[in-house]
Every structure is written in C-alpha cells, then in structure tokens.
C-alpha cells in the first residue's frame, strides 16, 4: 500500500514511499531520521511535534504525511541552518527556557510560527481589540504558546525568551 | 490503525462521488479529529479521501451583507479575517478559544463543525459506547461525566459537542451549504446537529457522502456580541460551559429595552444549544441582573444533570448572566450567595 | 563537618552545556539513536482488571503484513526471578490490573505493529475486581516497606483538652508524572549481551534491577541514556515496558526493537502517584503552640507490587508538639503499580498538613506564618537529632517580605477586583537532604583537559552543566577544560537521580576523584593519568536530621459566578544550601512550583471503578498546566552553604519546589472566598452555589 511522497525537510529534498497511515511526524522520525520533531502524545494534545509546514506551525502528529506531499517542512534544527542559532534559539538558551529539552524544538517552532502570526496582526482570544494591531504582551505570548506543554515547568522562562526574541527581531 | 486506501480529491464533485460510492469511505480535511480517531481505532475507514486541495478556501461577501466562508478555510484564517473580526467578533473569539494555535492552523471550518464528542468512553475502544458501537451501552452514565450534557441527553448518550465555533455559528443563525451525490442543499446550523435520542451514532443530519462546502453568515451588524468559555485551565481545554451571545439594546426610550438577542450554549448538550427560552425572556425586557437571572433559569429549567456534573447548572447560569451584564453594561449585581459551606 | 570545596564556577550562572543541541532538537533521546534495521513493538494489554487471559489467538496477527513475532505468556522466555511483581511479566494468564501487559507484536513498521496488535483476539475469564480506596477498607494494612508508626504521649487526651483544635479529612487524587518524553526502550541482543537505549533516571540502578530478573550478568547488559525527556520519578525504577522490550527483542537477535510507550499506556504502565486519604487532628494551646498531633493516612497500593505513598512522612518532622500519633496504611487493590512521583510522600503530605495548619491558624486567630514560627522545633521531633540547618522561619519571613504578605487581609472574601475574589495563602515546604553512597567518578587527563566520567543522568535537572561546574572547581580549571560523560553503564557506577540526591551524591564522587587524581599524580597530572573516587555515605546523617526547607506564597483569583480559579502570582523562598547553578536551580524550583499548580488546580486521574482504569488517560483530558495558567512564578533562596551536605555544601532542589505549593494555593483560595477545599484538585465547582 505504498504511496510516493515528496518532502523538503530543513532544506533537504526527499522522495520516499510511505504507508497511507504514516503521519508526517512518523515520516520524519522513522523514515527520514529527522528527530528534531518530538512525539509527546501523538494526538495533538501537547505540541512537541510542532513543525513549520510551508511557514505555518502545525502538529505533525495529526497530519497524514500524504496530505503534505510537496510541502516544505522546517524543524527547530532547520531554523538554525549550518548550525547558526537563530534569535529564538539564543533567547531560549540564555534565559534557560527549557529543562529536559524534549518539548523544546516544538516550542521553538511554535514560537517562530506565532511571531509570524502576530506580525500579521492575527488576534488571539486575549486580544482586547480584535481589529487593532497586536502588541505581544506577556499575556499574549502565554496564550499563543499554550499549545505547547512543558512538564518541567519552564513556562516563565519560555515567555521571557519569546518576548526577548520578539523584541530583538523587531 | 487499519490499512486504508488514500485518494487525493481534485474537485468537489469527484470527492463527493468517491465517498458516496463506498460506505466505508470518509473525507479527510484538517485531520485534527480524524487522524486522532484513526489511531484510536474509533474510525476505521477503508478509503480516505483527502479534500485538502479543493478550492474551498475563499471568504466572500454576499449581496445581503452576509459572508460566505469556504469549508476548507482554516480556523486561524477565519478568525483573523478582517470582515469576521469586524462584523462577527463572537465567531472570531469562539474560533480563537478553541484548541491551540497550531491546531487552528490545520482545522477547517467544515471539519470543526463535524468534530466528534470528546467523551472519554467514546474515545476508548475498550469501553462500551452507543455512539461508537450502537447497542453496546453508554459508559458515561454512572461514570466520569464532568464534560457531559445537562440538556437534551438521552438514556443512550450523554455526550456533548466539543466545538466552540459551532456555538457561535448557532447563535449567528448561520447556514451550511452541502453538496451530496444528488445535488446541493442548505441546512441551518441550528438543525445540522442532532440530539442523541436512540441514535447517538448519528451526530448530524448529513447523509453519507454529503460534504459541507461553505458556511454562510447572515448580515450581523446589530448589537454587541461575544463568546465566553469556562474551562478547567486557562487555555487549550474544552469548554465545561460556553456562551455565545448577541444583544441589541434600544436605549432611545426612558428605560433601555432589549430589542433583539440570540444566545447559544456550548458544553451542555449533544449539539450547540440555542437558548431560545432565555431569548424569549430577554426580548422586550429591561437589561437588569434580575432579567438575566430569569433568562438563565428559564433555559436551565429543563436541565437534568448527571451525578458528577450538577455544577454545570450554576456555572451555566453564572456564565449567561456575566456575559449579558458585560454586553449590556448593566450591573451584574446578583443576590449574594452563601458558599461558605459549599465544600463541607 | 566536611571540608567545603573552594568554588569558582560553582555558584555562578552557566548556560546549559547540552542546551545548543537541545534547542535544535539534536540531542538524542532514547528513541533517537541512529540504529540499523530497527523493528517496532506494540504491546497487548489486559482489558479487564482481574481474572485471566484464558486464550490468546494471535494467528491473524502473525499472518498480517510485516509481522515478525508475537510474544505472549505462551512463548515468553523464562525469568530468573519473579520477586518483583511489576517486572515479572508474561508468567501466566493471570491478570492483576487493567492495562497489564499480555504480550507484544513486533513488526517491520510501527503502523504494522499497531494494527497487528489489534488483530490479536484475547478471551477473558473475568473475576470481580476492587479498585476503590476508602478509609474503612478491610484490606488496609501497615506497609511492608514503610517508615513505621509514631506514638508519643497521649494524643486523645491532649486533643480533648486543647484550647484550639481541628479535626479534618483531606485527600489527594491519583496523579500522573507525564514527562513529555514517553518512556522509551530500544533493545538489541547480540549473542548473550543486551544493549538498551532507554529513558531512565539511572542507568546503573536500572541495570542492577533488570539483570537478576532476566538472569543475565550485569556485565552483559549495557544501558545508554545520555538525555532523558523528563521523569519526575516515573523513570526512576524500571517499569514493565523495559522488560517487555528486552524480552521481545530476544526473538530477533541482532535487531534493535523500538518501543515508545503511548501517552495512554503511560497511565497504566509507568507508575503514578497513589491517591491518599489523610485524617488530621491538631490540638493547640490558646497561643497556637501544638500539644496534639494526630495524622492517620491511607494510600492506594497495588496487588501486583506494594508501593506506599507515605503522606505522613513530613508530619514526622515538621512541627513540635508533645503528644503525637502518626499511622500510615496501604490498601492493595487491583490497580496498576504506583511509584515515585516528584516528592513521593512529602508532596501529598504537605497538602493535608499545610491546609490543616492554615485551619488551625484560623481557629486560633493567628497569622498562619506566626503559627508556624511558634511551632518550629529546635530538634527533629522524629529522631531527636539536631537539624543540619533548619531555616524554615527565615524562609517564611523573608518570603513574606518579598511577596507583600502584609497586604493580605486575614478576613476571607474581602478583596474583590472586577468581580473576581482575590486571596493570598502560605505554606511551608520541606524535603530530606539525602546523599547516597556508591557513586564512582573517574577523571582522566587528556591533551585538552580532563575527561570526567560518571553514569549520572540528566532529565532536565542540569546534570551535564552542574557536574561540569563541580569538576572544574574540584580540578581547579576553567569549565571549558572539563569533558563530562554521563548516562551510560560503560561509565563508572552512579546512583539514581531520585529523592533529590543526585547532585550531592555524584558531586561527592567527582570531588573525591579529583582529590585522588591530585594525590596519585600530583598537581599537574600527565596526559593519560587517571584516578577514581567514590562517594561514601554521608557521616553527618548519623548526627543530624538533614533537610531542606522553604515557604510558598500564592495569590489566586476566583470568579464567584462561573467558579473559575486562576493563579495570579506565586513566590517560593528556599533554604537548600549552596546553589551550584542559579539558572538551572531557579528553573527546577519554578518547575516544581508549576507542577504544584497542576496538583492544586488541574491534575486528577479519573479511575472508573467499573472498569478499573483511568479513563481520562491523555493530555487533553488529564490536565497539566499550560503556559496561560502560569502567570507569574518566582523562586529565590537564602545565601548559604550546608556544612553537612557534602563537599559543595549543596542540597538537591528537584523536589522541594512542589512540596507545599498546592497547599499555598488552597489556602489562598480560602482567603479569597471563605471556601475551604480539602480535596485536590480545586476545581471551580467548589466555589459555585449548589
């Protein structure tokens, strides 16, 4: 029951044959050996598998790989091309925005996607004026990062790191 | 997960034909619910028809001032659409209070309406569930019911519909446009979802093979509206209770009068619950705390809580009155309740 | 008193050394080591709580595409020891809890393995089961591995004569560790040698536990675990998933078999915090000084293997009082095996005790901080020994200042903003300052500096970083010259990362190895020179009661019409000796407090008594805090070194952050509303009119 699939992952092109049941996450981890995207719950309930698909943050565990045939997938590793850490990566490091590190690549991808959404003035549920420009207050960051669980409890530092990255990339 | 065939639909009619032809075929949109169910064994299709490449992603203004939203518009895109933010803030807020940023980027408008209950027994194939396996029994009755219904349930099913968006669409009198093997039809969202009765396996009135292609919102530049969600954590959780409310107050007379209102509730029933009894109390009445309480009580008169979710009655009452006070600017000065011994 | 190390790197901020890899997702966790030709395992699990798997028909599974092997009790390899009921899997058809492993399918792809497992047809003989913990359960008994009862003086008379007293019942629910990385094992047999890439808080302890069960010499087993995606106790002891994978892999020698436990399976396989019922009676003089202290607690245990969640532990040493009685019982039921979860005993115990102290403060008309100050004992009430450094009162006073405690109105339900009631609460924290003997470190001089090897674990605790800092100071070199190796049984023995003992135990070994290196090879050892050092038992444990202390302060808001309860802010002040790395220590303390918020407001495994399993067994239904729940949490500590903890003067901070945190929130909720919640978690329901 093989189907052909073409993916660009962190700038590298791959053509492979997958089972129709294979999720994008399992294609990355089990087929391509791309381990930056993590499996925490496999049901869209934790965010550890968050990657950027054509620039938007998605839970790769709830996407069939075949749905994304031809897509460009970026993991947290791909956000650091040639090993050059991005502003976000550096803020996470400097502010100790992780402990065990397992949710971290998902947090980084989610933050990257979220910063782009906010730059487009996409509102969140805590945005008071739905039509106004988005100010990335701590409250906004907390809400927008709530799709990424961290059991070590690094939220306070994650908010600080995302806030710093937002300021630096402004 | 059973093996299944995979087909990528390129046109809407073809997608409908593919699914209609086979009783064991399903549409795959954002996947946030179906892929979950494939893994759990809750859904076991033999053919998955992927509709992600269908051209159903436009949001267009209608001649009557309403809005038509393609079924494959992603929840996040709808929530951020300037026209929806301006004219339907209740819908925008409902969308934004659902799930997480990354799930909203995947979930579609059509798919969100058709998501299935989060009843833990429905999702657990090792326990009986009439919705998943008709005739096997309802495990929720006598079990864990925190997220279950207090209105319109049956002896066969006490599940709730989990969507926030659908609650707003219910209050907005939206319609869905549906394409089936025999043609197109339109269904008001208030009539799309069913109460469980003795056929809880049937969530909606859609026939096999029918595909939602668009949602249509009537012109809504009237009054103030919002969406309020009560949940166990501050984000990324399903509603215990939610309220979508729109209120238009006529302040031209000596005392303000509620000219028009529409209210829908989430988390309380097998379908998004249009609160018509509450609306009837409010219409033509003065916006006061007493009126709000009477409206809430009128709606909750029919409530039948389960062991384990009776808290939803005061919670729903509180949510309705708080939202109405906020929308009308009236005082929320309810009679002080004594809760000292609530936990004795 | 041991000589304290002169510190240069220790005590300073150091960015995590494993950080650059972790932020990119390049640090390999158990599932992620590049291995050739892996196979995938999916387990078979019991769907009844008690009875037998009368017949297992695996024929359809065996015929399914990609299936390599189906393991059941019928073909499972013999075990050398069945003493550990949790690990002695697949011995018979007997079923002791719902979710118990009955076998496994190995296939070429994960999709094939999971599908084939669904094709296995299991017929059950079902017996009645009992999974309900209650205070009057006839099976309640003293735990075999407990700390024993305490009976001093005449509690009943003292209670009857007390000027002020409280008599209340408290409960904590089933809670699940839920580290973000699910428990994962990759097993490969090469001849009679076994390699496990697994997710564990201790490679050596895991090996010494598994070897006698498998009947394999320890030297034949290698366990590799350089990075662990959280554990919180659940990866401290090997669970059945590790055994299952090791057994199944025997059928496919030479090929790695991968098994990542699913999130749902974790709720029945990888341990959990057992629920507790606590009956607490306190009696005091009018000035608040305790005269009677009665604490009777029961926790759920498993018929499969005993685990006592000793909530009475902190009650033994927290407060003064002449007449004392503490009893601890367990009720073995047909449930999965409970295990360690962050501060086992202390975390649930300091819920009951610290809410009870708040209630006593109300009854005595005292400020809850003052009540605790008046009952601060000079010697350990349990052992009679002096404390190492009992600075609870300093933590309470300093914390109160920093938090703004003086703004609290002791009268509940008096502060309201925008319709929300706001209140403040306080609770004490404590955790033993343990140090385990037996860890060994080896240091070797290399051209670049020093290679420091010890089989320690980093589960987010900062071990990579703080042990490098320790080694740098022990060797008197910059941290850049230290090349640390951990997480592998090929390295010298290390004790478990548990009970907040890791840092004190491992650092003692490293300091000792550095001393050995100097004494054997001089101040400037030649390249290739090496030495080993071992951590001995802490001699101070004979003379002192060794503990850390702290104080939590919380402010919550509650919407009375909808019941919503949210944390506004929280502050924790701790006494934990020398802080080795302020960055990682602060993170650990805040992390513990964050888990305490979950304990207070969200977490509860809903065990359905009809079925015998936790029905909200995923992260959508079992709520842990999300980012939006954690508005403002800060932690700080007293500037100190503990002369009795070890060469660094440092005590571990992995657990104390959660101890007392939930009680501070419950006490704040009472101050906000006047509603006293004694059963965790605090759902909004409690604040709604009935």
Superfamily of domain A81-168: [2Fe-2S]-binding domain (1.10.150.120)
- Region A77-103: mean pLDDT is 97
Indicate the class that CATH gives domain C35-128+178-269: alpha beta
Q: What's the pLDDT at A170? A: 75
User: How long is chain C?
Assistant: 690
What are the Cα distances from residue C283, in Å, to C116, C131, C384, C537?
A: 61, 34, 21, 38
Q: What's the pLDDT at C481? A: 98
8 Å CB contact of B235 and A125: yes
Q: Which residues of C touch A39 (CB under 8 A)?
A: 31, 182, 260
**Sheet containing B211-217: order of strands:** B59-61, B67-70, B211-217, B175-180, B183-188
Q: What's the pLDDT at C321? A: 87
CB atoms within 10 A of CB C590: 25
Q: What's the pLDDT at B333? A: 67
Three-state DSSP class for residue B194: coil
Calpha distance B316→B58 (Å, rounded): 35
User: How long is chain B?
Assistant: 344
Q: What's the pLDDT at B334? A: 54
Three-state DSSP class for residue A86: coil
Residues of chain A with CATH 1.10.150.120: 81-168
C19-29+435-537: CATH architecture: 2-Layer Sandwich (3.30)
Q: What's the pLDDT at A169? A: 84
Q: Which residues of C touch B314 (CB under 8 A)?
A: 563, 688-690
In chain B, which stretches have pLDDT less than 50? Answer: 335, 337-344
**Terminal-residue alpha carbon distance, chain A:** 48
> Which chains contact C through at least 3 pairs of Cβ atoms less than 8 Å apart?
A, B
Q: What's the pLDDT at B339? A: 41
8 Å CB contact of C230 and A41: no
Calpha distance C585→C433 (Å, rounded): 15
Find out whether C429 and C350 touch, Cβ atoms under 8 Å.
Answer: yes
Find out whether C651 and B258 touch, Cβ atoms under 8 Å.
Answer: no
Q: What's the pLDDT at A1? A: 60
Q: Which residue of C has its CA nearest to B293?
A: C561
Calpha distance B146→B153 (Å, rounded): 14
C150-174+273-434+543-687: CATH architecture: 2-Layer Sandwich (3.30)
B289 near C CB under 8 A: no
Q: What's the pLDDT at B220? A: 79
Domain A2-74 has CATH 3.30.420.40: no
Residues sharing a CB contact under 8 Å with residue C651, sequence separation 6 or more, in sequence order: C433, C500, C503, C504, C546, C548, C576, C577, C642, C645
Q: What's the pLDDT at B221? A: 73
In chain C, which stretches have pLDDT less than 50? Answer: 1
Mutation pick from C107, C120, C562 vs chain B, by most beta carbons of B within 10 Å, is: C562
Q: Per the structure block, which two tokens stand in for C476?
A: 């008197």
Fold entry, domain B5-50: 3.30.43
Q: What is the pTM of this model?
A: 0.98
Q: Which residue of A has its CA nearest to B5?
A: A20
What are the Cα distances from residue C164, in Å, to C219, C288, C319, C350?
A: 61, 8, 16, 21
Calpha distance C229→C224 (Å, rounded): 14
Q: From the CA of C93, how many Å to the nearest CA of chain B?
A: 19
Calpha distance B153→B273 (Å, rounded): 12
ipTM score for this prediction: 0.98
Every domain of chain C and the residues it spans:
19-29+435-537, 35-128+178-269, 150-174+273-434+543-687
pLDDT single digits (tens) C352-371: 999 999 999 999 999 999 99
| Strand bridging mode B175-180 / B183-188 | antiparallel
Find tokens 């402010």 and name the residue: C555
Domain B224-328 has CATH 3.30.390.50: yes
Every domain of chain B and the residues it spans:
5-50, 224-328
Residues sharing a CB contact under 8 Å with residue C594, sequence separation 6 or more, in sequence order: A153, A155, A156, C625, C630, C633
Q: For residue C683, give the nearest of B121, B232, B234 by CB distance.
A: B232
Calpha distance B184→C103 (Å, rounded): 51
Mutation pick from B6, B91, B101 vs chain A, by most beta carbons of A within 10 Å, is: B101
Backbone Cα Rg of chain A = 16
Find out whether B306 and B269 touch, Cβ atoms under 8 Å.
Answer: no
Calpha distance C511→C409 (Å, rounded): 50
Does residue A93 surpass a pLDDT of 80? yes
Q: For residue A33, give the nearest of C22, C34, C182 by CB distance.
A: C34
Residue C655 among the catalytic residues: yes
Residues of chain A with CATH 3.10.20.30: 2-74
């Amino acid at each position: 029951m093989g189907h052909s699939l073409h993916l660009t992952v962190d700038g590298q092109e791959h053509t492979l044959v997958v089972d129709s049941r294979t999720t994008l996450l399992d294609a990355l981890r089990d087929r391509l050996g791309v381990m930056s995207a993590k499996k925490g719950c496999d049901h869209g309930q934790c965010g550890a598998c968050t990657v950027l698909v054509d620039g938007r943050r998605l839970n790769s565990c709830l996407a069939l790989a075949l749905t994304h045939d031809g897509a460009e997938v970026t993991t947290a590793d791909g956000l650091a091309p040639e090993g050059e850490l991005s502003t976000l990566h550096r803020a996470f490091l400097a502010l100790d925005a992780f402990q065990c590190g397992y949710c971290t690549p998902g947090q980084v991808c989610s933050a990257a996607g979220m910063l782009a959404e906010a730059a487009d003035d996409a509102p969140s549920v805590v945005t008071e004026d739905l039509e106004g420009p988005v100010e990335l207050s701590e409250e906004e960051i907390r809400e927008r990062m709530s799709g990424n669980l961290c059991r070590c409890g690094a939220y306070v530092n994650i908010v600080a790191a995302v806030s710093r990255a937002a300021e630096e990339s402004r | 997960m059973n093996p299944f065939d995979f087909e990528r639909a390129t046109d809407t009619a073809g997608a409908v034909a593919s699914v209609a032809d086979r009783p064991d075929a399903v549409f795959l949109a954002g996947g946030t619910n179906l892929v979950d169910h494939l893994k759990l064994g809750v859904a076991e299709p033999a053919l998955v028809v992927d509709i992600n490449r269908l051209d159903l992603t436009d949001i267009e203004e209608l001649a009557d001032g309403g809005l038509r939203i393609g079924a494959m518009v992603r929840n996040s895109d709808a929530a951020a659409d300037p026209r929806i933010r301006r004219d339907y803030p209740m819908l925008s807020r409902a969308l934004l209070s659902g799930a997480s940023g990354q799930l909203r980027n995947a979930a579609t408008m059509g798919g969100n309406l058709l998501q299935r209950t989060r009843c833990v027994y429905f999702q657990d194939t090792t326990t009986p569930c009439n919705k998943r396996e008709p005739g096997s029994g309802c495990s929720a009755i006598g079990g864990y019911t925190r997220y279950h219904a207090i209105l319109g349930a049956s002896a066969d099913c006490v599940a709730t519909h989990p969507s926030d968006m659908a609650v707003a669409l219910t209050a907005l009198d939206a319609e869905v446009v549906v394409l089936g093997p025999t043609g197109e039809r339109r269904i008001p969202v208030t009539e799309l979802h069913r109460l469980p009765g003795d056929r809880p396996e049937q969530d909606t009135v859609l026939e096999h093979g029918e595909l939602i292609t668009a949602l249509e919102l009537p012109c809504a530049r009237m009054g103030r509206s919002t969406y309020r969600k009560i949940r166990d954590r501050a984000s990324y959780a399903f509603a215990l209770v939610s309220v979508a409310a729109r209120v238009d107050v006529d302040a031209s007379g000596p005392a303000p009068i509620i000219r028009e209102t529409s209210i829908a509730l989430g988390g309380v029933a097998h379908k998004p619950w249009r609160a018509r009894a509450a609306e009837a109390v409010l219409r033509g009445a003065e916006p006061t705390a007493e009126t709000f309480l009477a409206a809430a009580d009128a709606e909750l008169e029919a409530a039948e809580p389960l062991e384990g979710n009776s808290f939803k009655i005061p919670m729903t009452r509180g949510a309705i009155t708080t939202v109405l006070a906020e929308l009308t600017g009236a005082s929320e000065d309810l009679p002080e309740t004594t809760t000292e011994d609530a936990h004795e | 008193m041991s000589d304290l190390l002169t510190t240069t790197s220790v005590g300073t901020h150091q960015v995590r050394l494993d950080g650059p890899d972790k932020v990119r997702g390049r640090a390999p966790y158990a599932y992620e080591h590049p291995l050739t030709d892996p196979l995938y395992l999916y387990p078979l699990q019991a769907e009844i709580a008690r009875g037998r798997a009368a017949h297992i028909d695996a024929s359809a599974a065996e015929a399914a595409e990609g299936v390599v092997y189906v393991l059941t009790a019928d073909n499972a390899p013999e075990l050398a020891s069945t003493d550990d009921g949790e690990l002695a899997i697949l011995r018979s058809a007997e079923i002791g809890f719902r979710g118990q492993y009955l076998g496994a399918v190995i296939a070429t792809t994960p999709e094939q393995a999971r599908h084939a497992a669904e094709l296995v047809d299991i017929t059950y003989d079902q017996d009645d089961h009992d999974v309900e913990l209650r205070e009057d359960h006839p099976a309640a008994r003293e735990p075999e591995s407990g700390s024993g009862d305490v009976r001093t003086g005449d509690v009943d008379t003292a209670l009857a004569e007390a000027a002020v007293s409280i008599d209340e019942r408290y409960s904590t629910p089933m809670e699940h560790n839920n580290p973000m990385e699910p428990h994962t094992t990759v097993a490969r047999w090469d001849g009679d040698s076994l390699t496990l890439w697994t997710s564990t808080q201790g490679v050596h302890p895991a090996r010494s536990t598994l070897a006698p069960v498998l009947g394999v010499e320890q030297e034949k087993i290698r366990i590799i675990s350089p990075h662990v995606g959280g554990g919180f106790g659940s990866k401290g002891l090997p669970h059945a998933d590790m055994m299952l994978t090791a057994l199944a892999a025997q059928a496919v020698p030479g090929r790695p078999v991968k098994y990542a436990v699913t999130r749902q399976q974790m709720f029945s396989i990888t341990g959990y915090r057992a629920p507790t019922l606590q009956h607490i009676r306190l009696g005091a003089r009018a000035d608040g000084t305790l005269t009677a202290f009665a604490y009777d607690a029961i926790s759920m245990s498993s018929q499969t293997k005993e685990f006592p969640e000793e909530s009475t532990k902190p009650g033994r040493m927290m407060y003064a009082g002449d007449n004392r009685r503490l009893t601890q019982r367990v009720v073995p039921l047909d449930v999965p095996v409970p295990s360690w979860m962050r501060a086992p005993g202390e975390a649930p115990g300091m819920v009951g005790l610290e809410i009870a102290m708040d209630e006593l403060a109300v009854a005595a008309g005292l400020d809850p901080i003052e009540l605790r100050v008046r009952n601060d004992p000079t010697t350990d009430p349990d052992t009679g020994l002096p404390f190492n450094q009992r600075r609870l009162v300093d933590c309470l006073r300093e914390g109160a200042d920093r938090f703004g405690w003086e703004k609290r109105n002791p009268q509940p339900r008096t502060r309201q903003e925008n319709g929300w009631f706001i209140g403040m609460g306080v609770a004490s924290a404590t955790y033993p300052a343990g140090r385990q003997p037996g860890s060994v470190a080896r240091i070797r001089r290399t051209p670049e500096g020093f290679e420091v090897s010890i089989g320690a674990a980093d589960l987010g605790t900062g071990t990579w970083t703080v042990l490098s800092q320790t080694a740098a100071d022990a060797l008197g070199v910059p941290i850049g010259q230290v090349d640390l190796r951990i997480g592998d049984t090929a390295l010298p023995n290390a004790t478990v990362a548990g009970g907040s003992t890791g840092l004190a135990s491992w650092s003692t070994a490293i300091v000792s190895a550095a001393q050995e290196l100097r004494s054997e090879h001089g101040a400037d050892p030649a390249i290739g020179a090496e030495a080993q050092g071992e951590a001995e038992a802490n001699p101070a444990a004979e003379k002192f009661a060794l503990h850390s202390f702290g104080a939590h302060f919380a402010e919550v808001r509650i919407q009375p019409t909808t019941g919503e309860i949210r944390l506004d802010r929280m502050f924790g002040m701790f006494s934990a000796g020398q802080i080795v790395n302020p960055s990682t220590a602060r993170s650990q303390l805040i992390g513990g407090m964050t888990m305490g918020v979950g304990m207070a407001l969200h977490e509860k495994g809903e065990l359905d008594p009809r079925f015998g399993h936790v029905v909200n067994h995923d992260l959508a239904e079992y709520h842990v805090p999300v980012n939006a729940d954690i508005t403002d949490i800060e932690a700080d500590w007293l500037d100190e070194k503990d002369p009795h903890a070890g060469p660094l003067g440092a005590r571990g901070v992995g657990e104390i952050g959660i101890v007392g945190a939930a009680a501070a929130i419950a006490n704040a909720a009472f101050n906000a509303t006047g509603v006293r919640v004694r059963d965790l978690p605090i759902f909004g329901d409690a604040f709604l009119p009935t």
